[in-house]
């Protein structure tokens, strides 16, 4: 997979995308002005979200008075900050803060200077010369930092360990939910083609166990969804204001992040209802749970790098959803197979235990192979979009983290191939089943590490930005 990704990157052009960043400014970083401007212009990589954007300019005598921010009429990516008052000679520091389409806050600073005799400076007011103490006090800028404009978000920023842990819980619960659907709706029907009678014996126990697993996963998904709203609000406005209703409302006005959050919440509620019905034996419950799983698979793309791909979001979002569905069907399906399917088979009489376990594994293998192919194809596509250049694999934090993910995933793939080529043919006896449980456990642990790395990766700015 890594080799294919590298080859594709070499043969394809770079793409500009993901995370909001400053592309240019007027005045530029390091400029010395001989004429003060009436406005400051900042050009970003995405259209500016004014409700979540702040600008602050401070010099040795205090802060400039900035008027109402607006987007330039000719280009929504250009932020215009009118300067109403406050120009004076000296060094100035400009600080900006904004939010991109993926919901991640970014910020930065630049510096410029104003000459002593620059055109447009206000005439100095006449008055007595201050004494040394007054002069020293006058040289200290007044308090200008507004925590509502530039919140201290280090504790719950997008790249913080706390936020990554919430995303990890979200991903694990989502994959488990998808696996709980995949086992009874995909694996068992494929197994039934080999042995309808034995599959019919296994089906009731698998459906009950999968419904319980799905209900637990859907409940965890709802918990993670609520936690993510709080963490996102803390990353935008600071943890001190994260529980204020008006700040939560502000976060839920941020599109398309809010659409993804609401869709995730609805999917979680619908999944709980579907699995609860399935536990009572209602066939309609599986249809409801299946729809909820499809909805939930789309939600990561609406708050990540895929939706922030200018000109390619229409393709990146469905590709990301397919990536999640494939990962859930493979890894989540393997989890459901090991904690629900195999134990169900081992509860049968001794003569049927080995054949039943073998039947389920033979039903899972072709499904896993198809899903692994989809996972690899969509992963290569995402790498092409987000890296932009092959050298970014080792020269950027995003690329190095992606290489770590690919390395661990290679381990998952190798163990999966071992299970398919060596363990699966030996199934039929209980000894073979125990051997499968050991190797599949290694595969699941490695998959969990991939999820942990992914929870970090999705918050790192792609090098193409």
CA atoms within 13 A on the CB side of 351: 1
Question: Cα 281 vs. chain centroid, distance in angstroms?
Answer: 36
Q: Cis omega (within 30 of 0) on the bond before 343? A: no
The predicted pLDDT at position 51 comes to 83
DSSP-derived letter for residue 183 is I
Q: Which residues of 340-364 are buried (b: 16+ CB within 10 A; e: fewer)?
A: bbbebbbebeeeebbbbbbbbbbbb
pLDDT tens digits along 9-37: 333 333 333 467 788 999 999 999 999 99
C-alpha–C-alpha distance, residues 274 and 283, integer Å:
10
pLDDT tens digits along 274-323: 999 999 989 899 999 999 999 999 888 777 655 555 556 667 778 888 98
CATH number for region 16-138:
2.60.40.1220
Q: What is the pTM of this model?
A: 0.74
Q: Assign 381 a pLDDT band (cuts: 50, 70, 90).
A: confident
pLDDT tens digits along 177-215: 999 999 999 999 999 999 999 999 999 999 999 999 999
pLDDT tens digits along 212-233: 999 999 999 999 999 999 988 8
Could you tell me the residue ranges of all domains in the chain? 16-138, 154-457
Q: Assign 7 a pLDDT band (cuts: 50, 70, 90).
A: very low
Q: Phi and psi at residue 418, in whole multiples of 5°? A: -60, -45
Best-predicted range by mean pLDDT among 67-81, 127-141, 440-454? 67-81
């Amino acid at each position: 997979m890594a080799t294919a990704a590298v080859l594709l990157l070499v043969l394809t052009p770079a793409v500009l995308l993901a995370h909001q960043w400053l592309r240019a400014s007027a005045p530029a970083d390091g400029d010395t002005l001989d004429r003060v401007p009436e406005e400051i212009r900042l050009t970003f990589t995405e259209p500016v979200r004014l409700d979540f954007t702040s600008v602050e300019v401070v010099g040795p005598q205090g802060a400039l008075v900035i008027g109402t921010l607006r987007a330039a009429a000719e280009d929504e990516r250009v932020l215009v900050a009118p300067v109403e008052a406050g120009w004076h000679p000296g060094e100035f520091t400009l600080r900006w803060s904004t939010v991109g389409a993926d919901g991640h806050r970014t910020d930065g600073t630049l510096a410029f200077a104003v000459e002593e005799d620059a055109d447009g400076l206000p005439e100095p007011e006449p008055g007595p010369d201050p004494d040394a103490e007054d002069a020293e006090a006058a040289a200290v800028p007044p308090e200008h930092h507004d925590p509502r404009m530039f919140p201290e978000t280090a504790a719950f920023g997008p790249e913080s360990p706390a936020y990554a842990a919430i995303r990890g819980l979200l991903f694990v619960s989502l994959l488990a939910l998808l696996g709980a659907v995949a086992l009874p709706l995909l694996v068992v029907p494929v197994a039934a083609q080999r042995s309808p009678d034995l599959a019919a014996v296994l089906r009731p126990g698998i459906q009950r166990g999968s419904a319980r697993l799905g209900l637990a996963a859907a409940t965890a998904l709802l918990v993670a969804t609520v936690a993510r709203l709080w963490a996102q609000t803390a990353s935008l406005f600071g943890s001190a204001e994260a529980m204020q209703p008006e700040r939560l409302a502000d976060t839920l006005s941020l599109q398309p992040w809010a659409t993804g959050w609401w869709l995730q919440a609805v999917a979680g509620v619908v999944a709980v209802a579907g699995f609860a019905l399935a536990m009572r034996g209602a066939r309609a419950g599986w249809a409801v749970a299946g729809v909820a799983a499809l909805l939930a698979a789309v939600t990561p793309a609406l708050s990540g790098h895929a939706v922030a791909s200018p000109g390619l979001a229409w393709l990146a979002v469905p590709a990301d959803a397919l990536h999640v569905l494939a990962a859930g069907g493979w890894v989540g399906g393997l989890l459901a197979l090991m904690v629900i399917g195999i134990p169900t088979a081992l509860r049968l009489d001794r003569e049927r235990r080995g054949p039943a376990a073998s039947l389920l594994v033979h039903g899972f293998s072709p499904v896993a192979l198809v899903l692994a192919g989809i996972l690899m194809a969509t992963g290569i596509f995402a790498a092409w979009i987000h890296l932009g250049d092959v050298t970014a694999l080792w020269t950027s934090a995003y690329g190095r983290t992606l290489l770590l993910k690919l390395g661990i995933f290679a381990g998952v793939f190798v163990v999966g191939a071992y299970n398919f080529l060596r363990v699966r043919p030996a199934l039929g006896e209980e000894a073979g089943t125990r051997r499968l449980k050991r190797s599949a456990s290694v595969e699941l642990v490695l998959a969990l590490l991939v999820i942990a790395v992914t929870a970090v990766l999705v918050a790192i700015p792609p090098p193409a930005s």
